[in-house]
Amino acid sequence: MSEAAMPRRKVKPDVKVAAMRESLRLLNVADIARRHRLSKQALYNWYQEILEALPDILADDKPGRKPKSTDESAPPF
């Protein structure tokens, strides 16, 4: 059964952040850490960094064309 299509609408950044915080979950951290040969603490630290960065990541961008970077871009492959 498919979910009904939601109409396009502007979503406030605080609503985006709250929704993403609820949907990002650390499930089976020990298994993930073991498979990738990482410590559980490293995963928890990165997870916390992501949670703290969500407001900036999900902030509304100004509409319109984005300025071209003045930095030299990587060559296409």
- With a cut of 80, say whether residue 53 has pLDDT above it: yes
Rounded Cα–Cα distance for residues 45 and 68 (Å) = 34
- DSSP state, residue 64: S
Q: How many CA atoms lie within 13 A of 48 on its CB side?
A: 6
Name the nearest CA neighbour of 26 among 44, 42, 11.
44
What pLDDT, in 10s, does the model give residues 10-23?
878 888 888 777 77
Mean pLDDT of 28-46: 87
Work out the pLDDT band at 73, boundaries 50, 70, 90.
low
Tell me, what's the pLDDT at 36? 86
